[in-house]
């Protein structure tokens, strides 16, 4: 594929270089917003799919329940444990199918976690003890089960690296992309305040009775404004060569790390394809 790409470049002589700008990093939401220019919809979707399905994270895969007198069935406890996001150290662990142990399970691809609790108690992710301080529950308050007097829970769990295409519990976060928006006001609408309120994304402002565009990049092309206005009052367009990406991490990895890993997975896939083609 890389060979084909080079040929096209040589024959056609022109390739717009892609541009990437970081637009915003929301620390509270752990969300990175960036703009990529000079790509097409297929490439934008490839990036999204790589982020959601191919970036590995740690999650509990096997659960050995030694004691469970809680109200929940063993399966439900195991399911809840599997869905707890764990902070992930990508340098320290291998995917099992790529590990030197050939998937048998070793310290480079598996991690043991334990949980021991007696009621009365509300059991949360804070009660999970990990043998690796770098891999632990993202949110200590993640609720597991409420134990009443005399109820007990004793568990040994194994976490492994996995990817979202196998199970969503390994997905590193949520990502969306949208066309880069342009919002133009032509003729002033009769009801500027109503249009401002109609937009759920705070795109408009009203000053001196006139509608203006305040946060153009917030526009999601929902068309709520254009649907109620006459032609020529507001025009909303999207550039299909320029995309706004939002990557919101569930906490296992930093958003930047998620994007970097997605790109390195993509490169590895292209390299494999190139090698096999030869
Ligand atoms: S299309 Fe939707 S998001 Fe964009 S400006 Fe209109 S109402 Fe707001
Ligand atoms: Zn291993």
pLDDT attached to residue 166:
97
Q: Which residues line ligand 1 (CB under 6 A)?
A: 183, 198-199, 201, 203, 219-225, 236
pLDDT attached to residue 229:
80
For the segment 51-65, the average pLDDT, to the nearest whole number, is 98
Whether 58 and 112 have beta carbons less than 8 Å apart is answered as no
Cα 224-196-204 angle, rounded to 5 deg: 95
Percent of the chain topping pLDDT 70: 94
pLDDT attached to residue 251:
97
pLDDT attached to residue 14:
56
Question: Which residues have C-beta under 5 Å from ligand 2, the single-atom ion?
Answer: 99, 101, 106, 108-109
Res. 7: pLDDT tops 90: no
Structure tokens at 63: 């659960």
Token pair 């004691």: residue = 67
Which is higher by pLDDT, 13 or 99? 99
Ligand 1 atom nearest residue 204's Cα: 5
User: What structural domains does the chain harbor?
Assistant: 20-55+171-278 (3.30.1360.10), 57-167 (2.170.120.12)
The per-residue pLDDT of the chain, averaged, comes to 92
Contacts of 95 (CB under 8 A, 6+ apart): 56, 109, 161, 162, 163
Which is higher by pLDDT, 115 or 23? 115
Among 15-19, 55-59, 117-121, which stretch is predicted with the lowest mean pLDDT?
15-19
pTM to 2 decimals? 0.86
Q: Name the pLDDT band for 61 (thresholds 50, 70, 90).
A: very high
Task: Please choose from 201, 205, 221, 233 the residue to mutate so as to test ligand 1's pocket, defined by most ligand atoms within 8 A of CB.
Answer: 201
Res. 271: pLDDT tops 90: yes
Q: How far, in Å, is the centroid of ligand 2 from the Cα of 2?
A: 32
Alpha-carbon distances, residue 91 vs 115, 136, 182, 197, 253 (angstroms): 26, 15, 41, 48, 12
Alpha-carbon distances, residue 139 vs 62, 123, 126, 180, 252 (angstroms): 20, 13, 8, 34, 10
For 117-152, b where at least 16 C-beta lie within 10 A, e where not — what string?
bebebebbbebbebebeebbbbeeebebbebeeebe
pLDDT digits (tens, 9 = 90+) for 76-124: 999 999 999 999 999 999 999 999 999 999 999 999 999 999 999 999 9
Going by the DSSP 8-state scheme, the letter that residue 137 receives in this structure is: B
Which ligand sits nearest to residue 96's alpha carbon? 2
């Amino acid at each position: 594929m890389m060979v084909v790409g080079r040929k096209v470049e040589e024959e056609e002589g022109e390739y717009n270089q892609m541009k990437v700008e970081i637009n915003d990093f929301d620390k509270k939401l752990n969300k990175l917003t960036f703009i990529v220019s000079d790509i097409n919809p297929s490439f934008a979707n490839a990036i999204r799919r790589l982020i959601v399905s191919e970036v590995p994270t740690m999650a509990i895969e096997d659960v050995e329940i030694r004691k469970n007198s809680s109200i929940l069935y063993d399966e439900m406890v195991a399911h809840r444990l599997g869905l707890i996001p764990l902070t992930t150290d990508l340098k320290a662990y291998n995917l099992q199918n790529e590990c030197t142990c050939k998937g048998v399970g070793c310290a480079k691809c598996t991690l043991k976690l334990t949980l021991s609790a007696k009621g009365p108690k509300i059991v949360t992710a804070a009660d999970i003890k990990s043998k690796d301080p770098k891999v632990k529950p993202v949110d200590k308050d993640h609720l597991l089960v409420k134990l009443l007097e005399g109820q007990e829970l004793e568990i040994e769990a194994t976490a492994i690296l996995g990817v979202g295409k196998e199970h969503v519990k390994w997905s590193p976060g949520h990502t969306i992309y949208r066309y880069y928006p342009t919002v133009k006001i032509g003729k002033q609408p009769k009801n500027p305040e109503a249009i401002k309120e109609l937009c759920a994304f705070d795109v408009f402002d009203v000053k001196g009775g006139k509608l203006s565009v305040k946060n153009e990049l917030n526009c999601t092309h929902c068309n709520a404004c254009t649907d109620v206005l006459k032609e020529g009052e507001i025009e909303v367009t999207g550039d299909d060569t320029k995309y706004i990406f939002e990557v919101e991490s569930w906490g296992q990895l930093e958003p930047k790390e998620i994007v970097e890993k997605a790109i390195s997975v993509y490169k590895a896939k292209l390299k494999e394809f190139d090698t096999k083609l030869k």
